[in-house]
Chain A
Amino acid sequence: MTGAVFIEIFKQTWKQMLAWGLGLAALAMLVVLMVPLFDMQDMKTLLESFPPFILAMIGVGRDLEVFATNEGFVAIGFFGKSALIFAVYPVVMGMRITAEEEDNGIMDVLLSLPVSRAQVLVEKFLAYCVSIVGVVALIYLGVGIGDSLGNVGLDVGRLTEVTFYLIPLMIFVMAATMLVAALARRRMVALGVITAFVVASFSLQTIGLAAEGTVAEPLGTVSFFSYYNAGDILREGFIWPHIAGYIALSLVMLGASLVRYERRDVGV
């Protein structure tokens, strides 16, 4: 592995990484700046009267101490409710691993060079993983800057785990996109399938939370979004089994993509 593809991809992507990171950081800042508009003590009193399934629906969980804090509001209001938004960037990057360049013919040039298909895929995957880390780091920076600008008095340290937990989630989505593109060949088909997958996962999770006690609840656990629960993360920190699950599944999908892409025709 020469790293040349990795470096080039990073050169080509850093501007998009910056744009996405700054955009999401701006949103994070906006949410942080809104925190003073809430009276957290009133909120806590109110939430104490709620039964568990309502709390689950809004992603608060059973520990009210978590939500009724500034950090809890940011974690659940921004990171929890906006999980779908964080899935967009990895889908865009995942499409670039093979689908985009295969569709526009660049892959023909790349694969005529002395580099194996597996090497191209792995180096690109790793480069986009780094860009995901960059985007997440910028979001974290946005939270910190929002706190300073608005004098919110947020304990930013408590949001570290909630923020960086996004990395395995986003890598999972990117790996799924790569696998779909390796299987589907055609870019538009791949985009359609991965969009349906992400949208269905998000819906299963939200409906599962809103309909506790019905068939929607166990179905909700099938969604990969269910393992990114901002309230739980704020309370318990990194939930390592879930992170390991994201990483293991990402690696399995990476492996399956390599096998499939190695065997099939390119650009047909």
Chain B
Amino acid sequence: MSGIIIGNTLRTAWKQMLYWGLGLGLLGMYIVFIASNSDIVQGYADLFESLPPALLTAFGASSAEFFRTTEGWVVTILVSELALFLSVYAVLAGLAISANEEQSGILDVVLSLPISRRAFLLEKWLAYALLAFGTVLISALLPTLTAIGLGIDADIGIIFASILAVYPSALIVITVTVLLSTLFRRRIAAIGAVAAFVIGSYMSSIVGSSASGPIADLLETLSYFSHVGGESIVSGEYEPGGTLALLVAAGLGFALSAHLFDRRDIGT
């Protein structure tokens, strides 16, 4: 692994990272700005105090504690949206790893260079993993700095950490996109499959968290949106094991992609 492909990918894609980070960061800034009106948070806190847990899950919060604090309100509103929008970025990033270049024929040229397919895929994956982290970091910094600037009464560290906790889900989506691009070869088929994966996960998360019973629980467990982790950071129940599991899953998914990519034809 020479790192040349990582460097080249970072050079060509950093603007995309910046735009997405700024866009999502602006969303976070807006939510923090709204949260600076303490009446809103207090109103929710009083209300949710009286709600049964089953209903709270429908709002995306598993305990009334979330809405009691400003950071809880911000995280609940922001993280679910960030996870969804970041999935779009992750799909685009995943497609840029191999599918786009395979379709345009650029991959023929790149793989004619003295670099193995596995090394190529690994370098691109690492580059986009870094870029995705950069996107999440910018998305986290902007609302955090806004919160500091506005002097809002909130645990700003929790807001920052909760947004960063979205990162493993982005890495999962990138990896699934690479895997599906490897399996389907044709870009359009890969896009369809990964769209089904993201939308299916999103709906499973909504339906699973809104209902109760074994089917609903299974749906919720299967959805990567359910493992984003921001709310557990707010409630103090965060366990790094979940994040680690997502990262390991991403690593294994990538290893499988690299194995399959090495065995199949390119561009046919």
- Report A's interface with B, CB cutoff 8 A: 16, 19, 23-24, 27, 30-31, 34, 37-38, 46, 49-51, 53-54, 57-58, 77-78, 81-82, 84-85, 88, 192, 195-196, 199-200, 202-203, 206-207, 210-211, 213-216
Contacts and interface: CB of A to CB of B under 8 A. Distances in A.
A82 B58 CA distance: 14
B216 interface: yes
Contacts of B200: 27
Interface in B50-78: 50-52, 55, 58-59, 77
Contact of A37 (B27, B37, B50, B212): B212
A-B interface, 4 closest residue pairs, ranked by CB to CB distance from nearest: A37-B211, A211-B34, A216-B34, A27-B203
A23 B196 contact: yes
A203 B27 contact: yes
Interface of B: 19, 23, 27, 30-31, 34, 37, 39-40, 43-44, 47, 50-52, 55, 58-59, 77, 81, 84-85, 88, 192, 195-196, 199-200, 202-204, 206-207, 210-213, 215-216
A82 B88 contact: no
A196 B206 CA distance: 23
Nearest to A204: B30
A211 B43 CA distance: 10
A196 to B, nearest CB: 6
B199 A54 contact: no
Contacts, number: 84
16 contacts: A23-B195, A27-B203, A31-B203, A34-B210, A34-B216, A50-B47, A54-B47, A58-B59, A82-B202, A84-B84, A192-B19, A199-B88, A207-B30, A211-B37, A214-B37, A214-B40
B177 to A, nearest CB: 15
A30 B203 contact: yes
Contacts of B27: 199-200, 203
Given A37-B215, A49-B50, A211-B40, A203 B206 contact: no
Nearest to A196: B23
A107 B60 CA distance: 46
Contacts of B84: 84
A82 B40 contact: no
Given A37-B213, A51-B47, A30 B31 contact: no
B216 A37 contact: yes
Nearest to A28: B203
Contacts of A30: 203-204, 207
A31 B206 CA distance: 9
B199 A85 contact: yes
Contacts of A206: 77, 81
A82 B204 CA distance: 11
A200 B30 CA distance: 11
A82 B206 contact: yes
Given A195-B88, A207-B34, A213 B199 contact: no
Given A77-B207, A215-B34, A27 B77 contact: no
Contacts of A31: 203, 207
A110 to B, nearest CB: 20
A64 to B, nearest CB: 13
Given A38-B211, A207-B77, A213-B40, A19 B47 contact: no
